[in-house]
Amino acid sequence: MEEPNRELFEKVVKVAQARGFVFNASSIYGGLRSSYDYGPLGVLLKNNISKYWWKDIDNDSEIAIFPVDTAIIQSSEVWKASGHIAEFSDPMVDHKPTGERYRADQVPDDINKEDLTEPRQFNLMFETSIGPVQNENSTVYLRPETAQGIFVNFENVLRTMRAKIPFGIANIGKSFRNEITPGQFIFRTREFEQMEIEFFCKEEDENKWFDYWVKKRMEWYRSIGIPDTSLRLREHSDNELAHYASKTVDIEFLYPWGWGELEGIANRGTFDLSSHEKASGKDMSYFDPETNEKITPTVIEPAGGLTRTLFALLCSCYDEEEVNDTTRTLFRFDFNIAPIQIGILPLSKKDELIEVSNNIKNILQENYRTEIDVTQSIGKRYRRQDEIGTPYCITVDFDSLDDNSVTIRSRDSMEQERILITALPGFFSDL
């Protein structure tokens, strides 16, 4: 098992910001604490993670998973029924001498406990209002999870897609929590993206499907390039369980400061569908054609964080090595996940070389994310491409004009090979 590596944190944050993965939000105004914008490479990486998440669940021939994209602002009734208005809170204490506020279970050791106020509950939902008149009926909340958008659409999907259990509904999107202790870069922010599946099954099959999802989600993290040694499972103890869950297993990642949650897989039982049925008066049951009975399906929920996965991937793929007495910094992203897969580097800015580079881009860009990089020396360009995790660079030189060949350089081995331009599509499709 690997050990935590605190130094890694500073390095990853530095490269991520310097190279256009993540920027501090509102930076020209001094920034807003724990708020981040995703730059060009961060967006590409985030899109790739999301693409592979959808692809993985879409490829499953055993079960149907239906996508939805639900509103961030729902009726406040949703959050009343789901228990978030009453339960989604943390106990907070104030440090009287300084006015600093802490989560009751996260007070730093050096603080005198006698200087703290009694714990008070602090709801984590962001409250706002809709319409021109502000009153108690205009209060709405920014969703703290994408899951409820799925539950309130259960009947819509069931009916329109003629779904049969077991089946799932999947949702990716922004969620918002007024976290008391945001921090550690994009690990815990107040605005973040989730990727959630609510999987509806029969109660008697709940353990089978719970285990299925734990296994499947672990495999997915490995498949996008997170090493097995940085992943582990941890089951919640009874006093840790959320108000809706009878069992939860976290997929944990070894962050630079230690193990922490990457995804939670929970058995939510019939809690949500029953609560919404009771509160809305609408039928949320499923008619089982095999038994001719109406049942309320049991729900297994794999709930992951898209932005947190991006951070885990940056930490997993960051590497440094000494080459010719200098340190080479790189992200060892898998070919499929890398924001830029192929860098095309003309040796000079001469029109002939740019033209060949453009032709190569035209050949490859339909299937691969490519970038033509013309500035600075070849060495510096290789270094930049390594630093943003580009697995291959194609160098176009003056010989290319005669032999119709280019040099391919691998990020990981740094080996170079000469190859005909016409052989490029085959080279990359064989990877």
Q: Which span sits near ligand GAP by CB under 6 A: 37-45, 164-172, 257-265, 375-383?
A: 257-265
The radius of gyration computed from the CA coordinates of the chain, to the nearest angstrom, equals: 25
Q: Does position 147 bind ligand GAP by CB under 6 A?
A: yes
Q: Which span sits near ligand GAP by CB under 6 A: 15-23, 87-95, 150-158, 187-195?
A: 187-195
Q: Does position 368 bind ligand GAP by CB under 6 A?
A: no
Q: Does position 140 bind ligand GAP by CB under 6 A?
A: no
Cα–Cα distance between 173 and 161 in angstroms, integer? 22
Near ligand GAP by CB under 6 A: residue from 93, 262, 310, 347: 262
DSSP symbol at 73: B
Cα–Cα distance between 36 and 67 in angstroms, integer? 27
CA count, 13 A, side-chain hemisphere, 281? 0
Intra-chain end-to-end CA distance of the chain, in Å: 29
Q: Does position 188 bind ligand GAP by CB under 6 A?
A: yes
Near ligand GAP by CB under 6 A: residue from 304, 339, 343, 389: 304
Cα–Cα distance between 399 and 406 in angstroms, integer? 8
Q: Does position 370 bind ligand GAP by CB under 6 A?
A: no
Q: What is the number of the residue whose Cβ is closest to ligand GAP?
A: 305
DSSP per-residue letters across 111-123: S-GGGBPPPEEEE
Q: By C-beta, is 308 or 381 nearer to ligand GAP?
A: 308
| Type of residue numbered 180 | I
Near ligand GAP by CB under 6 A: residue from 76, 123, 189, 407: 189
Minimum separation from the CB atom of position 34 to ligand GAP (A): 9
Cα–Cα distance between 257 and 4 in angstroms, integer? 6
Q: By C-beta, is 272 or 371 nearer to ligand GAP?
A: 272
Q: Which span sits near ligand GAP by CB under 6 A: 212-220, 261-269, 347-355, 381-389?
A: 261-269
Q: By C-beta, is 125 or 262 nearer to ligand GAP?
A: 262
- Of 15, 67, 53, the C-alpha closest to 311 is 15
Minimum separation from the CB atom of position 265 to ligand GAP (A): 9
Minimum separation from the CB atom of position 218 to ligand GAP (A): 14
Q: Which span sits near ligand GAP by CB under 6 A: 191-199, 201-209, 285-293, 372-380?
A: 191-199
Q: Does position 90 bind ligand GAP by CB under 6 A?
A: no
- Of 132, 98, 300, the C-alpha closest to 217 is 300
**By rule CB under 6 A, what count of residues binds ligand GAP?**
19
Looking at residues 159 to 178 of the shown chain, list those that interact with ligand GAP (rule: CB under 6 A): 177
Near ligand GAP by CB under 6 A: residue from 155, 261, 277, 373: 261
* Distance of alpha carbon 55 from the chain centroid: 14
Minimum separation from the CB atom of position 135 to ligand GAP (A): 30
Question: Three-state DSSP class for 291?
Answer: coil
DSSP per-residue letters across 147-182: HHHHHTTHHHHHHHTT--SSEEEEEEEEEE---SS-
Near ligand GAP by CB under 6 A: residue from 9, 36, 145, 265: 145
Question: Three-state DSSP class for 308?
Answer: helix
Measured CA to CA in angstroms, residue 130 lies from 76, 86, 98, 127, 149 at distances of 11, 21, 36, 10, 18
Cα–Cα distance between 241 and 90 in angstroms, integer? 14
Measured CA to CA in angstroms, residue 181 lies from 43, 118, 184, 188 at distances of 25, 18, 10, 8
- Catalog residues that contact ligand GAP under the rule CB under 6 A: 145, 147, 177, 179, 188-189, 192, 194, 196, 261-264, 301, 303-305, 307-308
